[in-house]
Chains A and B, each alone.
Chain A
Amino acid sequence: MTRKIRLVLAVILLVISIVFLVWGFFPNPRETRIQNISPEEMRLPTPSSLHLDLEPAA
């Protein structure tokens, strides 16, 4: 009887420990994103200006 209990206990311990070890040491899933950047997107920024063509009030 004690032998049976010991066997069951050993199996439970091993299974739980294996689950813990798998969770604890499994590599994390990773994502890789690839984006192509054309030369047009790496141009010097366009100098901008503000022109206000104000017309005289009548």
Chain B
Amino acid sequence: MTRTLFSPRLFFLHLALWTVVLYGCSATAITEAPSSEVTEVPTSVAVTEEPPLTTATPGQTDSPTRPAIPETRRLTLEYPLRIRAGAESEIVRLTLEVDKFGNLTPTAEIEGNVVEGEVIEIPNLYETHDVMAEARFDIAGMDVQPPGATFQPLIQGAPVTFYWSIRPPEVGRYRGTIWLHLVFIERSTGEKSRMAVSAQIVEIEAVDFFGFSTNFVRTSGVIGSVLGVIVGFPFFDDIVRYFLNRFKKKSKRTGKSSRKI
């Protein structure tokens, strides 16, 4: 008696066909591989100067020895390009860390000769001022936690990190700006100055699965998998037997060929 009900060829044909059809349909909706795109942003593009809050002093000129933060810093912004709408939240991270390769003395190397630039004594801002980093995430229509501006003290050599939790209520494209300001408070007078260091525009896309909500898709996926396994359980025996037979045939062939040799 031959078993004609289960045809392995038919089974794999169906499996391949349905996989191709479904992946083809959902090609636009399925998210891409989690590629962590790293882009180096030139400072001149993102930095915008806001009018400072300092009081105007007539007759004062721009001198090169204005106090400055004596370290090169690196600003890293990490955010999701796409979020599933309605169900999940994501984290946006902004870090202002000390650049370990930052060279304070301007140095140039020409054909092995190291030429050092003129060392200018720049007063250390940390000695005279309290420095605060102020970050704000402005994005219309999206739930952002914490809302408004958040402050963190900037200490020499120490990084500061800001985190926001975002959640899109609906499907769509959301555009926003992440601001970073430095607030200088003079210790002796308490005078405040504020300057914008960076304003980066971000675009986040909230998606769903052909109109189905994320929760529905996830629940259907789990329930469907369980049902599929239950319905297809009697055939697993046939599948295992099919693969065992193939393995046995192969081993027999290799045995015969080795005997001939």
A: residues with CB less than 8 A from B are 3-4, 6-51
Contact = CB atoms under 8 A, between A and B. Distances in A.
Nearest to B92: A30
21 contacts: A6-B234, A11-B228, A13-B232, A14-B224, A17-B224, A23-B30, A24-B214, A26-B31, A28-B80, A30-B79, A35-B41, A35-B200, A38-B102, A39-B68, A39-B71, A41-B43, A42-B69, A43-B69, A44-B66, A44-B68, A47-B56
Contacts of B113: none
Contacts of A19: 22-23, 26, 30, 221
A17 to B, nearest CB: 3
Interface stretch (B81-89, B144-152, B250-258): B81-89
Contacts, number: 231
A19 to B, nearest CB: 5
Contact-residue size bin, chain B (C-beta under 8 Å from the other chain)? 35 or more
Contacts of B58: 49, 51
Tell me if A's interface is mostly helix, strand, loop or mixed: helix
Nearest to B229: A14
A23 B46 CA distance: 34
B218 A46 contact: no
B64 to A, nearest CB: 10
Contacts of A9: 231
Tell me if B's interface is mostly helix, strand, loop or mixed: mixed
A29 B32 contact: yes
B221 A17 contact: yes
Contacts of A11: 11, 14-15, 18, 228, 232
Interface in B31-47: 31-43, 46-47
Interface of B: 5-6, 10-11, 14-15, 18-19, 22-23, 26, 29-43, 46-47, 52-60, 62, 66-84, 90, 96, 99, 102, 104, 122, 125, 129, 182, 184, 193-195, 197-198, 200, 209, 214, 217-218, 220-225, 227-229, 231-232, 234-235
A8 B235 CA distance: 11
Contact of A29 (B35, B68, B217): B35
Nearest to B32: A29
Contacts of B71: 39
Contact of B218 (A18, A20, A27): A20
A13 B228 contact: yes
Contact of A4 (B5, B82, B83, B96): B5
